[in-house]
Amino acid sequence: MVHATHRLLSATLTTQILIALALGAALGLGLNYLAIPALQDGLVNGLFAMLGQMFLNALQMLVVPLVVFSLLCGVVGIGDIKILGRVGGLTFVTYLATTALAVITALVFANVIGPGTGFESVHLAGGNVDVAAQLSTWDILANIVPKNPINALANGEMLQIIFYVMVVGIAVLMLGTKAKKFVEGCEFMNELAMKIVQIVMAFAPIGVFCLIARTFALEGFSLFAPVIGYLTTISLTLIFHLCVTLMVLLYVCTGLSPLAFLKKMRSAQVFAFSTSSSNATIPASMQCVTQRIGVDRSVASFGIPLGATINMDGTAIMHGVATVFLANAYGMELGLGGYMTVISISVLASIGTAGVPGVGIVMLAMVLNQLGMPLEGIAIILAVDRIVDMMRTVVNITGDAVVTTIVGQRVGKLDRAVFDDPHAGTFDPSGLEIDHEAERAFESITHQKGTV
């Protein structure tokens, strides 16, 4: 009876999120069709924008403390520095490999479908997009080491945070038993961070509804017609990479069921779709990978934050399709050298790229600039980028989870019993109840201190 009730409550939250997504899209399209200024100002750009931004801020609020304490506990939990190096190296190489595979798939699909062929160049006028600052590979790698770790924490520089926390974790291992109290404190802070995640997740339906409603109210469907070939190509490529490439990779490397995996990742994918931010989805991804899939925290706390920064499968696909689309529209021939340039820049640009909405467009400007293509063509892509960004973020975070699961399996840090349990790690609303006995005890303690 208890398990049945638990499953009902868990399913209810997931259902609420999906219903909120559907209702938000329907309401947004309705508001876009009506185009009433008062509703646009007061509801869409007012209430929905405020609540949606509050939800995004709450998710971003969780990222740094969750990554810091989870990764610190993970590094200490591994214990063996050699295993830590193996986990890091395997994760990094696999991420780059999947990104390269993604952009190659995009180029194949784009050349077969041929988006942009016969597209009138008049649609491509009027763009104004700044080119991203082009850093060398050496500069990118050098910037992983933070000059000021406090500044890195404040600005959410994920690669720098990961580097610094790993150094601290190694130093803790070197201190041995002297660091026992510190480790216990970090364990408590990690549990506290996960509890805050649970609190924020309880408000997910409201946040998802507002974000989706505002997106569709502003975008609608009118902007899609001129670039229907581009949207079709990129959608098919994203679906293929997620459902075929990544799932085949998962099955071959781990033997896990792709369908069960996708079902367990569903809640994180909904968050990714609604927020368009890999960084904001880190808490949901961590919860799914550790509690639903069964990857040990020592691996997940490294793989998921790193993936949110360097694993950009969806963005790489967008680069590949958009480049071919614009080349066809302008009647330009890319050639083998052009394709190799797209692949190499997309892979290298993914290192250190911020996992925030819209960054793919800025990185695309860098790719086009390198190829000598006019940047004005980005204007038409920019019009529909919000919708595309939502889809590619789902692919990004799913790729993070797949690679983290593969690495967990390879180093013996995957609990198959958790993965095989369809109800493992589902949301439990009872976990949000206040412990009244503890509340009275704390009240007693604070009262005593106040009278001294």
Q: pLDDT of 64-105, one tens digit each?
A: 887 788 778 777 776 666 766 777 788 888 888 888 899 899
pLDDT at 280 over 50: yes
List Cβ neighbours of 173 (8 Å cut-off, separation of 6 or more): 75, 76, 79, 81
The torsion angles phi and psi of 414, rounded to 5 degrees, stand at -125, 125
Instruction: Single out the residue of 195, 201, 160, 131 nearest to residue 68, CA to CA.
Output: 160
432 vs 134: which has the higher pLDDT: 432
Domain residues of the chain, as ranges?
A: 2-429
Q: What percent of the chain has pLDDT over 70?
A: 76
Q: Sign (positive/negative) of CA torsion 297, 194, 265, 273?
A: negative
- Which tokens hold the place of 255? 């033997």
Residue 444 has what pLDDT? 65
Instruction: Single out the residue of 231, 235, 215, 223 nearest to residue 29, CA to CA.
Output: 215
Residue 7 has what pLDDT? 46
pLDDT band at 293, cuts 50/70/90?
very high
Amino acid at 178: K
- Which tokens hold the place of 96? 């780059």
CA pair distance 277, 271, nearest whole angstrom: 9
Least confident of 89-103, 194-208, 213-227, 350-364: 350-364
Instruction: Single out the residue of 433, 394, 401, 418 nearest to residue 198, CA to CA.
Output: 433
Show the DSSP H helices in 128-179 as ranges: 137-142, 149-155, 158-175
**pLDDT tens for each residue of 167-204:** 888 888 888 888 888 888 888 887 888 788 778 877 87
Residue 322 has what pLDDT? 86
pLDDT at 132 over 50: no
pLDDT band at 256, cuts 50/70/90?
very high
- Which tokens hold the place of 89? 């190296």
| Residue 433 DSSP label | S
Residue 430 has what pLDDT? 58
The torsion angles phi and psi of 295, rounded to 5 degrees, stand at -75, 135
Q: Sign (positive/negative) of CA torsion 136, 142, 146, 147?
A: negative
CA pair distance 89, 443, nearest whole angstrom: 49
pLDDT at 5 over 50: no
CA pair distance 28, 167, nearest whole angstrom: 47
Residue 225 has what pLDDT? 60
Least confident of 233-247, 268-282, 425-439: 425-439
CA pair distance 103, 228, nearest whole angstrom: 20
**pLDDT tens for each residue of 75-86:** 777 666 676 677
- Which tokens hold the place of 251? 């099955």
Was domain 2-429 assigned CATH 1.10.10.10?
A: no
Average pLDDT score, the chain: 78
Residue 143 has what pLDDT? 78
Residue 389 has what pLDDT? 81
- Which tokens hold the place of 171? 């130093």
pLDDT at 243 over 90: yes
**pLDDT tens for each residue of 299-321:** 888 888 888 877 888 888 888 88
Residue 387 has what pLDDT? 76
428 vs 395: which has the higher pLDDT: 395
CA pair distance 46, 4, nearest whole angstrom: 41
Q: What is the number of residues in the chain? A: 452
User: What predicted TM-score, i.e. pTM, was given to this entire model?
Assistant: 0.71
147-172 mean pLDDT = 83
Place of tokens 């998710």: 59
110-125 mean pLDDT = 66
Residue 125 has what pLDDT? 44
